[in-house]
A = this chain, B = another copy of it.
Amino acid sequence: MTFTTESHPGVRAEMPAATRGFVLNHSMLRVKDPAVSLAFYTGVLGMRVLRKLDFPEMKFSLYFLMKDDDAAAPDEAGERTAWTFSQRGILELTHNWGTENDPDFRYHDGNAQPQGFGHICFSVPDLAAAVRWFDNNQVAFVKRPEQGKMKDVAFIKDPDGYWIEIVQPDLLTGLGRS
Residues in A lying within 8 Å of B, measured CB to CB: 1-13, 15-16, 18-30, 34-39, 42-58, 62-63, 66-69, 71-75, 77-86, 88-92, 94, 107-110, 114-125, 129-130, 133, 149, 160, 162, 165, 167, 169-170, 172-178
Contacts and interface: CB of A to CB of B under 8 A. Distances in A.
A52 to B, nearest CB: 5
Contact of A178 (B4, B56, B125, B176): B56
Contacts of A94: 118
B54 A176 contact: yes
Given A21-B124, A81-B169, 13 more contacts: A3-B48, A3-B73, A9-B34, A12-B42, A16-B133, A18-B129, A18-B133, A21-B125, A22-B123, A28-B118, A55-B176, A94-B118, A114-B114
Contact of A43 (B6, B16, B72): B16
A109 B116 CA distance: 6
The SS class assigned to the A binding surface is: mixed
A28 B116 contact: no
Contacts of A115: 30, 107-108
Contacts of A22: 45-46, 67, 122-125, 130
A27 to B, nearest CB: 4
A178 B51 CA distance: 13
A4 B117 contact: no
A50 B6 contact: yes
A80 B4 contact: yes
A10 B39 contact: yes
A92 B118 CA distance: 9
Contacts of A19: 44-46, 67, 133
